[in-house]
């Protein structure tokens, strides 16, 4: 996808990061993804290459392997030529040595050579490193490669998974270069197009499922994949609601959280909340105003050197303050945020990194990606769901997505257990429960001097949304 | 999806089929599918329930279990209630006992009870039966359930996979009732709509990828899934070509093999081959005429009591005869088909069963489904790719899909090895290679007296296709 120079550069920055963490020799092994069976072996889901592979190796070829010698920086692709039967059914493959050249590796060897390489390194007790597998098939293939087959033992593979390697890889992958930011921005721009199309097309009577189908339909027509399962719902208070057959009424508030993915794998991720009728109800409008303010405060706080944990806190304070002014909360907003009272309304984190994964690198472990060795994750309700906390650096790309929700089950439990009752006006909150849930999400890139919102402008003020919903 | 009576009836016909094969006691265990990770653990492909589960148990609930006592016919669902965290993120689940009632099982127990049940049956050495797993995760879950964890051993699970159980299950599942045929017909009808839309919309300059995106886009807009990865190609001679960035020219012939899947899981599967310009080229037209004739002969041969192997042979004879009249083959067509010479052009089988899987029940083993204990699969090139061979029965639903291809790699190999050189005019064939590949596919249901093509009429004569391509 990118030039061979780009991949060579990426491998160099990974090796530099490994060296900084005290790893200067050994072999780093990566496997490409294989097919993922849907309803029988040969009927597979659309192939998705592994994101770490896309980052470091850079080819869409399935079922192959890669080895990087950390000391010399030399790396090889391992792949098999196709049989005549394969050619009849799936066509001539790309020439492997041309492919190897295009991604800047030293050469290409048969897959069996990777098995020999690993066996030899194991025999000589030389260091071998892998990344944690997230697919069962991948785990089984690694187990076989490392001679722990046929058992499927996380423990047996665990000794090849070195936290320093993960942290080094994250520190390389999390800084996006100009080409990567461009890819993400194209994904965000296309995502915005689909959100705006739905904003203008949606009508009372549409089901949630129809809205989700619309998003997939438009994404496909534009040549994009979805970066995650679309959330399209009148019940925004269910955070990851699967679209249902519920038909929206003019009184509902609709929440669309959907992202498109570039053919290269880079993702966009936006959330838009809008009234199904031409106007928000009075309570929904008031809550949306608080939310929009929190979104603005968070966005204005973004800069290199700032901890995202503190941005989350600023957004939380704004929400607590706003809800206090509406009478739903009371006391000092700082106390409320410290006690976690605001998490009754905002039980998730403010954002996550975005890149080749929509929750970038989440397969490597959320804490490595969002906290590193700088911070430890809180176990307080709400805060424990914060995916990104660490200090922002130029080149990082992430979402900002505050939300305010009225979740019946959570409300009932907290009220019954009198949680933070000095900070929450439960009797008043009860009268606002029908507001449901709202979220605003946009994607940002940290620059040398501040931060830049990705994609074209998308006015999400109450006025702009109501205008859009009125011109049907 | 269907009524509880329907599921009760299906279980009874499965038990009857088991009894006929000498199995009258023991416990049959089935696991629902779980989520399938795409690019990290929690970013999953769209959930697809297992087809055997949909057939026998009938709920879309993920990660649960089912046990059927073969002697008493009593069966239970095994599923866990959701935690508050689950409810906050994914909403209130359906009430499990209401669900259990709606699918006609005796009751619902926690998932751990299934573990106890299996342990108890194992301890008492009572018979336990499972179906072969086709997903790695499923295999791992079964291994754990059957106490062969943490090893991933096909062999260890193998002793619970009884061919008689598979054959009994196939004999129940392959006879579709009126409700099922109705579901399949709705899938076929929607599939036909999309094929016709593409037939009228496609223009020179469109890429193969754009055509595949168009199909997904239209399917999604109609609320359907795809039943398999769309084949949309100007290079029909690559049987399962993945759509590329190649832009079609007016001289190309386009092949679309695409199917839609109902929300219930039932599939459609059609192939349409058409000229990109307003007319087929002279050679392409001549080949298409032969193909259309083979399609017609096959369709006219379908009836209960007829072996699909013989239908395949009739289609093969028609192809050999037609290619002889064009000068590409020579000698007696019966000899050619006996020797497999026609497989140079028609290297795959005439069709496959269709139902909850587009290749119905393929996950249980192709030979169980297509050959049963009646026939053995040939190892002759071409014939060995025939998925369905056995005797047709009323209620069976299957595709009819003859194809004629000019595959360069296969041609070069056969010519070099002088394969069937008394039956093939290689010098003449060489001048027809640019025809590429063509296939016609429609879906049929076997009735008491004959067979019925599913879905509305779809005229695939040269004249009709050229007419469609001329009215742009």
B186-243 pLDDT, tens per residue?
999 999 999 999 999 999 999 999 999 999 999 999 999 999 999 999 999 988 888 9
DSSP reduced 3-state for A62: coil
The pLDDT assigned to A149 comes to 57
Range from B105-114, B137-146, B162-171, B384-393 carrying the lowest mean pLDDT: B137-146
**How big is chain B, counted in residues?**
472
Give the pLDDT band (50/70/90) at residue B150.
low
Contact B91 A210 (CB under 8 A): no
The pLDDT of residue B59 is above 90: no
The pLDDT assigned to A82 comes to 80
- Chain B residues touching A137 at Cβ < 8 A: 136
Mutate to test the interface with A, among B35, B88, B210, B244 (most CBs of A within 10 A): B88
Contact B134 A210 (CB under 8 A): no
The pLDDT assigned to A472 comes to 58
CA atoms within 13 A on the CB side of A97: 0
The pLDDT assigned to B149 comes to 57
Mutate to test the interface with B, among A40, A50, A133, A246 (most CBs of B within 10 A): A40
- Chain A residues touching B210 at Cβ < 8 A: 223
Cα B135 to Cα A132, B228, B364: the distances in Å are: 20, 16, 12
The pLDDT assigned to A91 comes to 76
Q: For residue A406, give the chain B residue with the closest CA.
A: B88
State how far Cα A50 lies from the chain centre: 14
Contact criterion met (CB below 8 Å) for A184 and A382: no
Q: For residue A54, give the chain B residue with the closest CA.
A: B39
The pLDDT assigned to A150 comes to 54
Two tokens at A400?
């900002």
Q: What is the DSSP letter of A94?
A: P
The pLDDT assigned to B472 comes to 58
CA atoms within 13 A on the CB side of A58: 22
Using CB atoms, pick whichever of B38, B42, B210 lies closest to residue A223.
Answer: B210
- Chain B residues touching A38 at Cβ < 8 A: 36, 45, 48
Which residue is it, tokens 């013989």? B310
The pLDDT assigned to A240 comes to 81
Using CB atoms, pick whichever of A45, A220, A358 lies closest to residue B36.
Answer: A45
The residue-averaged pLDDT of B134-138 equals 92
For residue A449, the distance in angstroms to the closest alpha carbon of chain B comes to 32
For residue A316, the distance in angstroms to the closest alpha carbon of chain B comes to 19
**pLDDT per residue over A390-409, tens digit each?**
999 999 999 999 999 999 99
Using CB atoms, pick whichever of B87, B220, B241 lies closest to residue A217.
Answer: B220
Q: For residue A358, give the chain B residue with the closest CA.
A: B43
DSSP string, A191-244: HHHHHHHHHHH--TT-BHHHHHHHHHHHHHHTT-EESS--EEES-TTSTTPPP-
For residue A42, the distance in angstroms to the closest alpha carbon of chain B comes to 8
Burial B203-236 (b: 16+ CB within 10 A, else e): eeebbbbbbbbbbbbbbbbebbbbbbbbbbbbbb
**pLDDT per residue over A154-178, tens digit each?**
677 888 999 999 999 999 999 999 9
Q: For residue B381, give the chain A residue with the closest CA.
A: A85
Share of chain B above pLDDT 70, in %: 99
Query: Considering only CA atoms, which of B263, B146, B270 is closest in space to residue B198?
Result: B270
Mutate to test the interface with A, among B35, B36, B39 (most CBs of A within 10 A): B39
Architecture of the domain delimited by B4-173: 3-Layer(aba) Sandwich (3.40)
CA atoms within 13 A on the CB side of A364: 31
- Chain A residues touching B361 at Cβ < 8 A: 40
Using CB atoms, pick whichever of B41, B139, B356 lies closest to residue A363.
Answer: B41
Longest dimension (CA), chain B: 75
Mutate to test the interface with A, among B1, B40, B194 (most CBs of A within 10 A): B40
Contact A238 B91 (CB under 8 A): yes
pTM: 0.92
For residue A448, the distance in angstroms to the closest alpha carbon of chain B comes to 30
Give the pLDDT band (50/70/90) at residue B1.
confident
Contact B36 A43 (CB under 8 A): no
The pLDDT assigned to B144 comes to 87
Strands A231-233 and A253-258: antiparallel
Contact A88 B238 (CB under 8 A): yes
The pLDDT assigned to A200 comes to 96
Any idea where the domains of chain B sit in the sequence? 4-173, 178-470
The pLDDT of residue B152 is above 80: no
- Chain A residues touching B90 at Cβ < 8 A: 238-242
**Cα(A454)–Cα(A192) distance, integer angstroms:** 10
Architecture of the domain delimited by B178-470: Alpha-Beta Complex (3.90)
For residue B390, the distance in angstroms to the closest alpha carbon of chain A comes to 21
The pLDDT assigned to A471 comes to 79
Mutate to test the interface with B, among A88, A209, A262, A346 (most CBs of B within 10 A): A88
The pLDDT assigned to B461 comes to 98
Give the pLDDT band (50/70/90) at residue B158.
confident
Contact A409 B137 (CB under 8 A): no
Contact B241 A90 (CB under 8 A): yes
Contact B357 A36 (CB under 8 A): no
For residue A147, the distance in angstroms to the closest alpha carbon of chain B comes to 13
Contact criterion met (CB below 8 Å) for A228 and A270: no
Contact B43 A359 (CB under 8 A): yes
Contact A220 B223 (CB under 8 A): no
Range from A284-293, B130-139, B297-306 carrying the lowest mean pLDDT: B130-139
Q: For residue A219, give the chain B residue with the closest CA.
A: B217
Torsions phi, psi of A449, nearest 5?
-115, -10
**pLDDT per residue over B433-463, tens digit each?**
999 999 999 999 999 999 999 999 999 999 9
Torsions phi, psi of A253, nearest 5?
-105, 135
For residue A328, the distance in angstroms to the closest alpha carbon of chain B comes to 20
Using CB atoms, pick whichever of A89, A137, A221 lies closest to residue B217.
Answer: A221
Mutate to test the interface with A, among B43, B61, B206 (most CBs of A within 10 A): B43
Query: Considering only CA atoms, which of B180, B131, B188, B130 is closest in space to residue B7?
Result: B180
Q: For residue B414, give the chain A residue with the closest CA.
A: A84
The residue-averaged pLDDT of B289-307 equals 98
- Chain B residues touching A43 at Cβ < 8 A: 228, 357-359, 362
Using CB atoms, pick whichever of A41, A216, A239 lies closest to residue B88.
Answer: A239
Can you tell me the ipTM of this complex?
0.91
Contact B357 A39 (CB under 8 A): yes
The pLDDT assigned to A119 comes to 95
Contact A213 B220 (CB under 8 A): yes
Two tokens at B455?
């879905």
The pLDDT assigned to B92 comes to 72
Two tokens at B166?
């598979």
For residue B448, the distance in angstroms to the closest alpha carbon of chain A comes to 30
Query: Considering only CA atoms, which of B129, B118, B140, B137 is closest in space to residue B166?
Result: B129
Which residue is it, tokens 């037609």? B322
For residue B116, the distance in angstroms to the closest alpha carbon of chain A comes to 23
Quick one: CA dihedral A168, A173, A176, A179, positive or negative? positive
Using CB atoms, pick whichever of B88, B91, B229 lies closest to residue A410.
Answer: B88
Query: What angle do the packed helices B178-201 and B208-221 form, to 10 degrees?
Result: 130
Using CB atoms, pick whichever of A45, A150, A239 lies closest to residue B45.
Answer: A45
* Interface contacts (A, B; CB < 8 Å): 172
Query: For each successive 10 residues of chain A (472 residues), what is the average pLDDT?
Result: 94 96 96 95 94 93 95 96 78 83 95 96 95 92 81 73 95 97 98 97 95 95 95 91 91 97 97 97 98 98 98 98 98 97 98 97 96 95 97 98 96 97 98 97 98 96 96 68
């Amino acid at each position: 996808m990118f030039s061979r120079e780009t991949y060579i550069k990426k491998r160099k920055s990974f090796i530099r990061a490994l060296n900084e963490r005290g790893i200067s020799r050994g072999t780093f092994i990566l496997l490409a993804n294989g097919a993922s069976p849907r309803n029988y072996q040969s009927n597979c889901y659309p192939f998705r290459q592994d994101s770490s592979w896309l980052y470091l190796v850079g080819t869409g070829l399935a079922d192959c392997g890669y080895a990087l010698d950390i000391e010399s920086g030399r790396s090889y692709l391992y792949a098999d030529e196709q049989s005549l039967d394969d050619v009849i059914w799936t066509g001539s493959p790309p020439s492997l040595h041309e492919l190897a050249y295009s991604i800047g590796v030293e050469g290409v060897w048969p897959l069996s050579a990777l098995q020999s390489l690993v066996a030899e390194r194991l025999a000589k007790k030389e260091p071998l490193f892998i990344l944690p597998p997230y697919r069962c098939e991948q785990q089984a293939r690694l187990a076989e490669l490392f001679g722990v087959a046929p058992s499927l033992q996380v423990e047996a593979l665990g000794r090849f998974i070195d936290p320093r390697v993960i942290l080094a890889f994250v520190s390389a992958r999390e800084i996006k270069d100009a080409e990567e930011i461009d890819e993400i921005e194209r994904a965000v721009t296309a995502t915005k197009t689909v959100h705006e199309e739905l904003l203008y097309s949606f009508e009372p009577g549409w089901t949630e499922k129809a809205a989700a189908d619309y998003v997939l339909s438009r994404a496909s027509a534009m040549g994009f994949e979805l970066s995650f399962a679309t959330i399209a719902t009148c019940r925004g208070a269910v955070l990851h609601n699967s679209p249902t057959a519920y038909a929206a009424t003019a009184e509902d508030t609709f929440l669309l959280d959907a992202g498109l993915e570039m053919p290269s794998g880079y993702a966009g991720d936006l959330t838009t909340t809008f009234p199904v009728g031409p106007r928000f109800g009075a309570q929904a409008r008031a809550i949306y105003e608080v939310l929009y303010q929190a979104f603005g405060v968070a966005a204005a706080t973004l800069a290199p050197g700032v901890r995202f944990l503190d941005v989350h806190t600023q957004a939380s304070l704004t929400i607590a303050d706003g809800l206090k002014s509406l009478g739903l909360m009371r006391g000092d907003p700082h106390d409320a945020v410290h006690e976690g009272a605001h998490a009754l309304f905002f039980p998730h984190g403010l954002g996550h990194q975005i890149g080749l994964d929509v929750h970038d690198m989440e397969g490597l472990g959320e804490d490595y990606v969002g906290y590193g060795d700088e911070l430890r994750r809180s176990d307080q309700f709400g805060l424990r769901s914060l995916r990104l906390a660490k200090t922002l650096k130029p080149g990082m790309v992430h979402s900002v997505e505050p939300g305010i929700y009225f979740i019946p089950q959570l409300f009932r439990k907290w009220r019954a257990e009198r949680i933070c009752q000095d900070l929450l006006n439960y009797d008043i909150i009860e009268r606002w429960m029908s507001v449901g849930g709202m979220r605003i999400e946009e994607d940002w890139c940290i620059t040398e001097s501040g931060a830049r919102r990705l994609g074209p402008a998308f006015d999400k003020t109450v006025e702009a949304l109501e205008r859009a919903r009125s011109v049907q």
